[in-house]
Amino acid sequence: MAGVSTAVVSYALNDRRGVSVATRERVLRVADELGWRPNPAARSMRAGAQAVGLAVVAGETLHGAPVLDVVAAFQRELLPRGLGVDLRVVADVAAAAELYRRWGAERRCDVVVVPEVRDDDVRLRVATDAGLRPVVVGPTEVAPGLAAVEVDDEDAYARVARYLASLGHVRIALVADPTDRLRTAACERGLRAATQDGTVALEIVPTDGTVEGAAGATRRLLTQAVRPTAVVLATDVMALAALDVARRTGLVVPWDVSVVAGADSVLCRLATPALTSLPSLATDLGEALARAVTGTLDAAAGDPPVRVPLAVGALAVRGSTSPQAH
């Protein structure tokens, strides 16, 4: 319809040199009239990437933030590049690795986002072996040599410990996510670094990451002969469970025990008392991920991996924490 060869059409549509302005405009006008759009299936056969793969283990968060909130910001940032996010919910890390193998074999994704990284995480090796480029989300210095968003959990939890110590708390406990996650280890390091002068006793209680696990751990902590006067919990829902346990144990929050949530949400604001919390990473993490992914796609061979640092903001102080009377 444009009166030119298919090669000229291809040059015009792909904005390559060798076509006059007038011809290009005629081709684009005709394409528009025909409702023509590039077929990503056809394009991906030659060009590779069309979507960023994100496999989330069922029940897990994206570094403590609600998955869909992060994905909303991430997708918004990727949209101008025409990149989508292929989001899957999988049963466990092994299922994620199996999905990477398939994505690699089918050339369905180029970049995969790997959240909640474990010690010796099988996903990193499998993703690389499958020809995918992993972008890891984890604490500072996670997965050296790979692209990553580095969240400064250690600094954030050090600030929590210093805040509680400044209120006079000398027995602090952390009800933590599973210990095989690098994020959990970083949080623990932060608390330890800020309390290493020996004036504060620190107790770390790992859980399976469920609300029931957090409730059980908190109950054990609060019914000990010598109990902590401040408890930090990894997530908002865990912290709600801790408030419930304190109530049932006959302890008043914050007078008998202070409670801190590791990630803020509307639930922290609605709780009674409202929960002192580290901020939610949702939007910031989505944007940082987009920078890490687009940087990785744009990198030339031999460039160092893209590392995007992400600081955790200031603690929101609410009614669940108070000075501790000795």
Q: Report the distance separating Cα 237 and Cα 253, nearest Å.
A: 16
Residue from 22, 58, 225, 325 touching a second copy (CB under 8 A): that is 58
**Shortest separation between residue 212's beta carbon and a second copy, angstroms:** 9
Instruction: Judge if the upstream peptide bond of residue 80 is cis by omega within 30 degrees of 0.
Output: no
Total residues contacting a second copy by CB under 8 A comes to 41
Q: Which of residues 205-234 bind a second copy (CB under 8 A)?
A: 211
DSSP label of 314: -
Q: Report the distance separating Cα 12 and Cα 14, nearest Å.
A: 6
Tell me whether residue 17 or residue 37 sits nearer to a second copy (CB atom).
Answer: 37
The answer to whether 196 contacts a second copy (rule: CB under 8 A) is: no
Cα atoms in the Cβ-side hemisphere of radius 13 Å centred on 184 = 22
Tell me whether residue 200 or residue 231 sits nearer to a second copy (CB atom).
Answer: 231
Answer yes or no: are the C-beta atoms of 122 and 280 closer than 8 Å.
no
**Block residue for tokens 């949400």:** 265
The answer to whether 42 contacts a second copy (rule: CB under 8 A) is: yes
The answer to whether 252 contacts a second copy (rule: CB under 8 A) is: no
Q: Report the distance separating Cα 176 and Cα 186, nearest Å.
A: 11
Tell me whether residue 69 or residue 150 sits nearer to a second copy (CB atom).
Answer: 69
> Token pair of 248, please?
């049932």
Strand order in the sheet with 109-114: 84-90, 51-57, 109-114, 133-139, 147-151, 307-310
Q: Report the distance separating Cα 239 and Cα 211, nearest Å.
A: 9
> Token pair of 74, please?
């991430």
**Shortest separation between residue 86's beta carbon and a second copy, angstroms:** 7
Contacts of 319 (CB under 8 A, 6+ apart): 254, 273, 274, 276
Tell me whether residue 105 or residue 311 sits nearer to a second copy (CB atom).
Answer: 105
**Shortest separation between residue 284's beta carbon and a second copy, angstroms:** 16
Residue from 21, 41, 225, 325 touching a second copy (CB under 8 A): that is 41
CA angle (149, 151, 153) in 5-degree steps: 160
CA distances from 157 to 69, 78, 103, 204, 216 (A): 23, 31, 36, 13, 22
Q: Write each residue from 261 to 280 as x if it is in contact with a second copy (CB under 8 A), else as -, in one continuous string.
A: -----xx--x-x--------
**Shortest separation between residue 236's beta carbon and a second copy, angstroms:** 10
The answer to whether 283 contacts a second copy (rule: CB under 8 A) is: no
Tell me whether residue 40 or residue 216 sits nearer to a second copy (CB atom).
Answer: 40
Q: Write each residue from 101 to 120 as x if it is in contact with a second copy (CB under 8 A), else as -, in one continuous string.
A: -x--xxxx------------
The answer to whether 38 contacts a second copy (rule: CB under 8 A) is: yes
Residue from 3, 15, 18, 35 touching a second copy (CB under 8 A): that is 35
Tell me whether residue 109 or residue 160 sits nearer to a second copy (CB atom).
Answer: 109
What crossing angle do the helices spanning 282-298 and 67-78 adopt, rounded to 10°? 40
Which spans of this chain sit near a second copy (rule: CB under 8 A)?
Answer: 35, 37-42, 44-45, 50, 56, 58, 67-68, 71-72, 75-76, 84-89, 91, 102, 105-108, 211, 237, 240-241, 243-244, 247, 266-267, 270, 272
